[in-house]
Amino acid sequence: MQIAVNTRLLLKNKLEGIGWFSYQTLKRITTANKDVHFVFIFDRPFDEEFIFSDNITPVIVGPQARHPFLYYAWLEFGVKNTLNSLKPDLFLSPDGFLSLGAKCKQLPVIHDINFLHNPKDVKPLTGKYYNHFFPKFAQKATRIATVSEFSKKDISDNYKISPDKIDVVYNGINSSFKPVSDSEKTKTKERFTKGKDYFLFVGSLNPRKNISRLIQAFELFKKESNSELKLIIAGAEGWGGSEIQKQIDTLSCKVDIIFTGRLSEEDLANVMASAFALTFVPYFEGFGIPLVEAMQSEIPIITSNVTSLPEIAGDAALFVNPYEINEIKNAMLKLINDPDLRLKLIEKGKQRKNNFSWDRSADLLWKSVEKAVK
């Protein structure tokens, strides 16, 4: 069997949500299936770190796909010609992009379709590309994988795809996330918050992450509690992220909000495990990876009661309406005023995390591949 794979998001030191999904699942799938030949299709020079086993042949196909016009050129010229020449049993695409002109079977992983519900959350041209092509990708697909039951229903309902054609493949948890010692917590807090406890947000700074309402809630929390807690916002600036800094400049608590930018994997793991709580309140998520990272790090969670987030968090979180600033603020107050509640949420998270692992993710994705090939 020969499987071609879209590996354009395997980027050295730049792995994010879909990139981590690609890395963790493909590493396990390729090493576990030595009798299968995999062709990894990159759009630029690649790092040997991503050639996980000797049954992988890497190829570079241009142009570099980092813009909607170049997405189209890459998929409908470079990738199409490569696939039609290789004639693989399947084209697996962890970022959901397919080649409409390719003749082989194709399996996209469509993580979510936020761009359909909230088109202003992405750059205008990118949103137009996604909303034009993703319905076509869904119809073209032999099967579809996605990362939650919520996203499965969303894709099925909006793209008129039979749910029998869609497989749920939950994300896993990177092993770097784990509890740390009290001394490590002290060291981390000294480094980032001058020794103070802190709430933590993790993710790219873009509109759907709802950071604007989170910081407004934090401002109210500071006024009502007189607490010394800080708020760390850890992540790279995305589309629309610059407006957040402008907003913070108007707040009285701005000195208590720390932007770290993108952190290394080790630093992020330490910052997560040393936090008082994760405050992750987006208004749309297909999965919400920080939730399971917090569970593994043994810290409590405040999260939104919408989209996939209740499905992933289960009983291991305080839920809030992400559009209600006072609800977010009140959840923060609950955690600082009720130590028993905080410990209870941590214990629930320690149980809940057992539902998620990259081994399981890889197994589920491989089952989807086998269904598609058959």
The percent of residues above 90 in pLDDT, for the chain, comes to: 89
| Rg of the chain taking only CA atoms, in angstroms | 21
H-type alpha helices, the chain: 17-32, 68-73, 80-86, 114-117, 124-140, 149-159, 182-193, 211-225, 242-248, 265-273, 289-297, 309-313, 325-337, 339-352, 358-373
Task: Give 198's strand partners.
Answer: 230
What's the order of all strands across the beta sheet hosting 277-280?
257-261, 230-234, 198-202, 277-280, 301-304, 318-320
Q: Distance between CA atoms of 332 and 199, rounded to whole angstroms?
A: 9
Q: At what angle do helices 339-352 and 325-337 cross, to 10 degrees?
A: 100
Pairing state of beta strands 277-280 and 198-202? parallel
Q: Which of 323, 319, 325 is nearest to 301 (CA)?
A: 319
pLDDT tens for 44-61 read 999 999 999 999 999 999
Q: Which residue matches tokens 């997560």?
A: 272
Predicted confidence at residue 209, as pLDDT, reads 92
Q: Is the pLDDT of residue 245 over 90?
A: no
pLDDT tens for 91-121 read 999 999 999 999 999 999 999 999 999 998 8
Q: Distance between CA atoms of 281 and 309, rounded to whole angstroms?
A: 9
Q: Distance between CA atoms of 294 and 352, rounded to whole angstroms?
A: 11
> What is the pTM assigned to this prediction?
0.93
Q: Pick the residue with more confidence: 251 or 215?
A: 215
Cβ(102)–Cβ(83) under 8 Å? yes
Q: Distance between CA atoms of 150 and 248, rounded to whole angstroms?
A: 33
Q: Is the pLDDT of residue 372 over 60?
A: yes
Burial of 242-274, coded b for 16+ CB within 10 Å and e otherwise, reads: eebeeebeeeebeebbbebeebeeeebbbbbbb
Q: What is the mean pLDDT of residues 23-27?
A: 98
Burial of 173-185, coded b for 16+ CB within 10 Å and e otherwise, reads: bbebbeebeeeeb
Banded pLDDT at 241 (limits 50, 70, 90)? low
Banded pLDDT at 242 (limits 50, 70, 90)? low
Structural domains in the chain, sorted by start: 2-172+357-373 (3.40.50.2000), 182-355 (3.40.50.2000)
Banded pLDDT at 240 (limits 50, 70, 90)? low
Cβ(295)–Cβ(353) under 8 Å? yes
Burial of 319-356, coded b for 16+ CB within 10 Å and e otherwise, reads: bbebeebebbbbbbeebbeeeeebeebbebbeebbeeb
